[in-house]
């Protein structure tokens, strides 16, 4: 059997010797205060074995990674009907792009762009009377850990300067694709982006996509096998914005990044792997996180291709 622990440790040590490039996300003032040299890794396999390195138990801001969870909740309820409000095509544009929305009549290309995730938040507000509680309890149940919470300071920081997201939401409202008040939808969106998780918690949470819709302990079913397949496909094609092709090329796994510096990748049927390193490349994805995952799938040959 492959020694994941040894391989993770080796790549981790190698990367520490290399220069760490990129910048911590500065456009959310509170995120810019994070120590840029943090670096954590955690892999959990379907036998519930855990392999880790560095700052794997320290919490950081989930940011866009939460979009997979909010999408899963909406999809679980609406199934294919959801695609009337948001598409499933890669955008080839940055996560906060505005220009495409006009020619697309306010229907975002995919649920992992900010526009798409804001629509999904609007959908969840229609489906649930207390959507914040539904999101946080899904995360806690999947992680089998109640120590997962919103981070008020980060949400407030984003609310105070989230002008692009406001522009996206108001534009979609004008096209009829946002049903609630824009401020309420954005409050909810910024709150879910602010949730703090560790690599260990993230790896455990994402086991439902390695286990075809079921939680790590097998107790809960969140998605059907067909739905889990489709969410993994959207992660592969859209999980890294205009770097999605590069991620598939280098890493070869479905995954999702966030501007908190986290990345989670899934090998269906085998494992879920979370990395965290706050310095981002120019596309908004963790520089060291990407390097780690590329080395990991090269060394282990565990990839969907
Ligand atoms: N909350 C961030 C934003 O809306 C999420 C972006 C990201 O992680 N890529 O800008």
Query: Between β-strands 255-257 and 262-267, what pairing exists: parallel, antiparallel or unpaired?
Result: antiparallel
Beta bridge partners of 51: 43
Ligand 1 atom closest to the Cα of residue 284 is 9
Mean of the pLDDT values across residues 32-37? Answer: 95
The finding on whether 112 has its CB within 6 A of some atom of ligand 1 is no
Ligand 1 atom closest to the Cα of residue 65 is 8
Task: End-to-end CA distance of the chain: give it in Å, rounded.
Answer: 20
Mean of the pLDDT values across residues 13-28? Answer: 95
Task: Report CA(61)–ligand 1 centroid distance (Å).
Answer: 10
CA distance 67 to 74: 11
| Residue 60: per-residue pLDDT | 98
Q: If you average pLDDT over every residue of the chain, what do you get?
A: 96
The finding on whether 157 has its CB within 6 A of some atom of ligand 1 is no
Which two structure tokens, joined as six digits, stand for 186?
């954005």
Choose among 43, 52, 50: nearest CA to 9. 52
| Residue 70 · residue 85 · CB < 8 Å | no
The finding on whether 189 has its CB within 6 A of some atom of ligand 1 is no
User: Residue 105 — very low, low, confident or very high, per pLDDT cuts 50/70/90?
Assistant: very high
pLDDT per position as a tens digit, 231-241: 999 999 999 98
* SS3 of 162-175: CHHHHHHHHHHHHC
Ligand 1 atom closest to the Cα of residue 27 is 10
Task: Report CA(71)–ligand 1 centroid distance (Å).
Answer: 15
Q: Which domains does the chain have, with CATH numbers?
A: 4-300 (3.40.710.10)
Q: What burial class does residue 127 get, using C-beta atoms within 10 Å of its C-beta: 0-12 exposed, 13-18 middle, 19+ buried? A: middle
The rounded percent of the chain whose pLDDT value lies above 90 is 92
Single pTM value for the model: 0.97
The finding on whether 63 has its CB within 6 A of some atom of ligand 1 is yes
| Residue 183: per-residue pLDDT | 97
Ligand 1 atom closest to the Cα of residue 194 is 1
pLDDT per position as a tens digit, 145-185: 999 999 999 999 999 999 999 999 999 999 999 999 999 99
CA distance 239 to 113: 9
Contacts for 5-8: CB closer than 8 Å, 24+ residues apart: 5/51, 7/296, 7/299, 7/300, 8/41, 8/43, 8/51, 8/52, 8/53, 8/296
| Residue 2: per-residue pLDDT | 84
Which two structure tokens, joined as six digits, stand for 168?
């996206």
Task: Report CA(162)–ligand 1 centroid distance (Å).
Answer: 9
The finding on whether 258 has its CB within 6 A of some atom of ligand 1 is yes
CA distance 231 to 178: 22
The helix/strand/coil state of 96 is coil
Mean of the pLDDT values across residues 277-290? Answer: 97
Beta bridge partners of 267: 271
Which protein residue has the closest C-alpha to ligand 1 atom 2?
Answer: 63
């Amino acid at each position: 059997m492959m020694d994941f622990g040894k391989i993770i440790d080796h790549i981790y040590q190698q990367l520490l010797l290399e220069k760490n490039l990129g910048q911590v996300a500065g456009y959310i003032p509170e995120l810019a205060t994070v120590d840029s040299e943090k670096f954590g890794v955690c892999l959990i396999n379907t036998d519930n074995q855990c392999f880790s390195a560095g700052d794997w138990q320290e919490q950081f801001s989930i940011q866009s990674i939460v979009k997979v969870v909010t999408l899963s909740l909406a999809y679980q309820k609406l199934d294919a009907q959801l695609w009337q409000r948001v598409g499933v095509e890669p955008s080839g544009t940055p996560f906060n792009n505005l220009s495409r929305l006009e020619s697309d009549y306010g229907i975002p290309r995919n649920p992992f762009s900010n526009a798409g995730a804001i629509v999904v938040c609007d959908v969840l507000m229609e489906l649930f009377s207390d959507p914040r509680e539904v999101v946080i309890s899904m995360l806690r149940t999947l992680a089998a850990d109640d120590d997962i919470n919103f981070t008020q300071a980060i949400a407030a920081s984003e609310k105070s300067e989230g002008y692009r997201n406001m522009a996206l939401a108001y534009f979609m409202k004008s096209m009829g694709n946002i049903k609630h008040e824009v401020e309420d939808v954005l409050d909810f969106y910024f709150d879910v982006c602010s949730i703090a998780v560790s690599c260990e918690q993230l790896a455990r949470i994402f086991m439902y996509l390695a286990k075809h819709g079921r939680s790590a302990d097998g107790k809960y079913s969140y998605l059907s096998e067909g739905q889990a397949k489709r969410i993994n496909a959207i992660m592969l094609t859209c999980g890294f914005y205009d770097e999605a092709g590069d991620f598939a090329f280098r890493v070869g796994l479905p995954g999702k990044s966030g501007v908190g510096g986290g990345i989670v990748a899934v090998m269906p049927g085998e494992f879920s792997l979370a990395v965290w390193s706050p310095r981002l490349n120019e596309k908004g994805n963790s520089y060291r996180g990407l390097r780690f995952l590329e080395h990991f799938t090269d060394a282990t040959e565990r990839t969907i291709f």
